[in-house]
Structures are given as C-alpha cells and as structure tokens.
Chain A
Amino acid sequence: MRQTTSQAQPTVTVDASTAGRPLLEVRDLRTEYRSPSGIVRAVDGVSFTINPGEVLAVVGESGCGKTATALSILGLIPRHAGQVVGGQVLFEGEDLLSVRAERLRQIRGDRIAMIFQEPTLDPVRRIGDQISEVLRAHRALSHHDAWNQAVEFLGLVGIPRAAERARDYPHQFSGGMRQRALIAMAVALRPDLLIADEPTTALDVTIQAQILELLLEVRRSLGMAILLITHDLGIVAGFAERVMVMYGGRKVEEAPVRSLYRQPKHPYTWGLLGCTTRLDGNRRDRLPQITGAPPSLISPPTGCRFAPRCPHAQELCRASYPALLEVGDRHRAACHFAEGEEWGSS
C-alpha cells in the first residue's frame, strides 16, 4: 500500500454532533420474503449497532438471515420477492426505511457501500469506466478527473499497472482482481460504512487472506466501519472487533471477538466453533458437526429455534423462546442456560 501512506490520512473524525452516537443502529428489523409455500420470516426482529470505524461480523449458516439483513439496510429487497415489514434502520439518526428514494440513492455508494460474494462487474464495460461512473453518480467530476481517481483507487487496492489495467474488461481480470476492483469501486467515495457480504467465499483460500488484509488496510487508511457477513468463523477472529451470531432469522449471541471465542454462551455458537478445523487437534477425531438443518423460516419451531438441533435442549427450550440476556461484559446470548454452562463438557 505505498500510495496510501503518503496521501490518505485516517479520516476518523467524530464531530460533536455525532459523538457517542452509533453510525448505524438497526432496531427490531423484520423482513419477509414471499414463497410458494408461505411467508418466510428471513429477518425476525434483529437489533444491533455499529459504531464509526468499527468492524462487526455477522455469522451464521446459509439461510439464517444474514444477507437479508444487509439488503434490508440498503432497501434492496426486490419488490417482487419480499419486503421489510417492521423496525428501523437508523443511519446517523436518519431512518433509511422511511426516507425518500432519491435520498436513499444518495446514501448508497456515497455513505454506505456494499460488496458481494461473487465478484461480478458489468462484462461489457471497462473497469475504469465502471469505477468512474460510481464517482460521477455522486460527485460533480469531469470524465477525466473521475477516470484518474478510478486509476488511483485501482492502484490503492493493489492492481499492478493500474492506469493500463483500468482499460481492461472484467473478463481480463482474475476473480481476485475483480474483487479488488469491486472494493476500489466501493471505497472510491470513502463511505462511512462498508457492507461486505461473504466477500471471500467465492475466492481461493490464498486470495481470501489477501482480500481480507486489503479490506483491513483500506479501513485503516479511510477509517470506515465494516459490516462483514460470513459463515466462516475462522476468518472472523483476526478481522472483527465484535461478532453477532444469527440463527433462524434472529440474533442468538453477540460479543466482543475475544469473549465469543473464549466463552461462547450459546450452544449454536459453540457448535460453529467446533466445526472449525484446528491444527492442534487429534488427527483421528472426526470434525464435529451440527446435525440437522436450519429451521424452516416459514413455520419456525415454537420456543428456541435451535432446540431441535441442540444437544442440551430441555423442555423449557421447546416451550419458550429465550430472551437475549447480558451474560458478560457486552456479551449477550439468547439461551435459557447461557449462564454458567460449559457446553463443551458433554
């Protein structure tokens, strides 16, 4: 990151009016999708906050509502597929769920950017043009200036010979380079929040590490907050400050990274951690797994949604949904038996 250090100063400026206020506050978000077999409650009352410059990871299996949460924040649930049915998404105090379309368009890209799992760019347009276009959608820039900034950002994300490669088409880039270009596109306007939805899942393992490092590096130089969505707890440890675990459209545990890894309070989290390969483990042991499949979000089980798969489930678990309770310092879990249980012992 040679260029970064010289020009871009960390821009974490918290002025008086926003001091102490979270950058993004999601309150009781509910999103439903329509499906032939009924209404799918993809996000069922999720609340969380992200502070300026903070990295929050959202973890969970496929279909637990992670992506639906992200799409809801930006008002991107396709109209024909579903809708946000309740809650608030306060971005610097402004509720994104009730602002006018034009205001939302201004916020997208400029203040909140997003990158996706598949590094897809428009196949028929040059990389540089696509980045310039984003810049020009929000800033009064000449074509020439926008192009130069695009090249600059391509260099910033580690594309060699950026001036030359900006003229390339997406098929001339490898998957990793395309993801870099998309990161350049996302951060070119220096957003306050970057939503990264499984940004490394589609990439080779070696490239994954590079892309995560790049995201952290970009965050250091531009000072933005990141909402990382992933199903891989393995990449969270070195990346995020706080982790939120989702299951069945709900938040089941939330904690600073350290305390989550040291003392997972929810049996689901414990199970997820158990699934991670360890170098110091016994090589003859089978990798533990969470048996069964995530619950149907059309008719979720009454009581704790994890109960059908939970090895420790009791009568109480099947009868009532556990409240999200404080179980440690900034550590909350939604389990009837979160307090004082060591799930690993069984």
Chain B
Amino acid sequence: MTDIQLIGSPMAPEAEEVVPALVGAERVLQPLARRGVFRRLMRDWTARIGFVLVVLLVLAAVLAPLLAPHEPLALDGGSFESPSWSHPFGTDRLGRDLFSRILFGARLSLGTAFFASLLITFAAVFVGSVTGFLGGAVDSVVMRVVDTILAFPSLLLAIVVAGLFKPSLWSLMLALASVWWVGYARIVRGLVLAVRERQFVTAARVAGGRSSRILIRHILPNVLPPVIVLATLEMGTLILAISALSFLGLGAQPPTPEWGAMLNEGKNHFFSAPHLMLFPGLAISAAVLGFNLLGDGLRDVLDPKS
C-alpha cells in the first residue's frame, strides 16, 4: 500500500481497522440488542438499583399466588395485627394479610400502569409521527388540539374523565391514557421532525421509496430509543397517578388490593396501626423509584452524547 488505491480495488486493510475508532453518534441508534445496552446499563449503580427494584416488583406481581402466605381477600387473622412471622406486614381492620395484599397489589399497579403506558406510547407514536411527517394542515389542527389538552393540569383532567365512568381500574386506565398521551405526542413529533430532515430520509426519497415505507422503516426505528426512555420514566409517574386516583376513590374499589386504595383504607387508623399506610406507601415509593432510576439509566445509555 505505497500508493493511492486504484479503481474499485478493495480498501486498504488499515482503513478497516480504523473503523471502530470512527464510531460516532450514530452508534447510539443501532438496535438495542446488538449494542450491549444491558451491559452498559449495569455499569451505573443507580440504574442497577432501579433495575433490581423493577425486577423484584415484576417477580412479585407474576409470582404473587405462589409467594403470598395468605389469600389477599381472606379474613384469616385478627384486626390490626402488627407485623409478625405469620403476617410479615401485619393485618388490616378485617384481618386480611397486608403482605399478600401488597403482592397482589403489584399486579394491579404494574399491570394498569403498563397497559396505560402502552396505550399512551402507541397513541403518541401514531399521532406524533403522522403529524410530524406530514406537516401542513393536519399537523396544525392536531397540534392545536394537543395544546388545548395540555393547557389543563393532566391529573385534574384525568379525574374529570374518570368521573364520567363507574369507578374501576379500567376506567382509570383509559382516563389516564386519554389525557396523558398528548405531551408525548408532542415529543414524538419533535423527534420525527428532526429525523425527517436527515439526509438518509432524502436519500430514501430519491431512491423512490414510498412515504409510508420511509416512515415505518426509517423514521420510526430512529425515534424508538428516546420513546423507550420516555415510556419507562412514564411508568413511575403513572403508578403514582393510579395510586393517587385510587386513594381518592376514583380507581380500584374495596376490597381490591390496590396500593392507593389500601392507603385510603388505612388512613383512618394511621395512629393506631401505622403499618397500614407504611407498607403500601413503601411499595409505591419503591415502584416509582425503580422505574425512575431505570429510566434515567436508560436515558444515559441511549443518549447520543454519552
């Protein structure tokens, strides 16, 4: 290799060896599985804590029937028993085992938050990408609607929507999803606008790609990493919102072992039996903390500037 390479001959081996050093911002957007996202995530101890918390909660939710020492609705203890070996978190007014109720409550809180998050993400990605990609009148009209919804405090609006239905976790989930998606649609639209202007999108157009295909094959995969981060951070907020609305009596109804509803039941006995509020409160905190730490960690790992 003393000379300039001639026509079309394979590139010098040196050039290939340089490649790993040339990885730039684009590396970040490569599909997650191939990039050791998990390994890099685990290097950060706060993300590790978040991950462990989330895994524990998910395990608790999935394995609740196996782990729970008692039926969550069975009245098989004395009233207001303090924590003991047979009732690790004590019992409530009706003698139900609090530990078992919290395990089953994980199913409800995580499940509801997860499906709400899924609904929100789908709605936001759909609306955000279509408006961002098409622009023009569609964009203006939809974004004005979004602005209008954003002008209200979202929790208040969710209370109004939930109030329209018979209180249940399902109506709560739909109420939350129906007001929560707007902010995310805005963010997704912004991300799509940024990707749309990148040259590989023009190149795909020059190559005769159809718009629908360009959107699905080129733009969406490129906005996915931040959307994943958002959805994770959103889980924490949603768990909190679900508990809050259930605490206010708009979501899960007694005897459903939902954490917020349990807080509500315990609040009248706070001074005599503080464990009734302590343990559901801790469960909510652990869930929110877990998803926030995990989301933060994911953001650092998926951040193009890292």
Binding site for B on A (CB under 8 A): 1, 4, 74, 76, 79-80, 105-110, 113-116, 118, 120-125, 133-134, 137-138, 156-160, 169-177, 182, 185-186, 206, 209-210, 213-214, 216-217
Contacts and interface: CB of A to CB of B under 8 A. Distances in A.
Interface residues of B, number: 42
Contact of A125 (B136, B221, B224): B221
A173 B6 CA distance: 19
B218 A125 contact: yes
B15 A122 contact: no
B29 A113 contact: no
Given A116-B199, A214-B7, A217-B8, A122 B222 contact: yes
Given A4-B8, A158-B9, A210-B5, A123 B207 contact: no
Given A157-B8, A170-B26, A214-B7, A121 B206 contact: no
B26 to A, nearest CB: 4
A54 B289 CA distance: 66
User: Which secondary structure characterizes the binding site on chain B?
Assistant: helix
Interface of B: 4-11, 15-16, 18-20, 22-24, 26-27, 29-31, 34, 135-136, 198-200, 202-210, 213, 217-218, 221-222, 224
Contact of A74 (B4, B136, B206): B206
A16 B221 CA distance: 47
B24 A160 contact: no
Given A160-B10, A176-B11, A217-B8, A134 B200 contact: no
15 contacts: A76-B206, A109-B208, A114-B206, A116-B203, A120-B203, A133-B213, A169-B34, A172-B20, A174-B11, A175-B22, A177-B11, A185-B203, A210-B5, A210-B7, A213-B6
Given A133-B209, A158-B9, A177-B19, 10 more contacts: A114-B206, A137-B207, A137-B208, A157-B8, A160-B10, A170-B26, A172-B20, A177-B15, A182-B203, A210-B7
B8 A105 contact: no
Contacts of A157: 8
B206 A171 contact: no
A120 B200 CA distance: 6
User: Which secondary structure characterizes the binding site on chain A?
Assistant: helix
B8 A1 contact: yes
Nearest to A4: B8
Contacts of B34: 169
A173 B19 contact: yes
A158 B205 contact: no
Given A120-B200, A157-B8, A80 B135 contact: yes
Given A1-B8, A118-B199, A123-B30, A107 B208 contact: yes
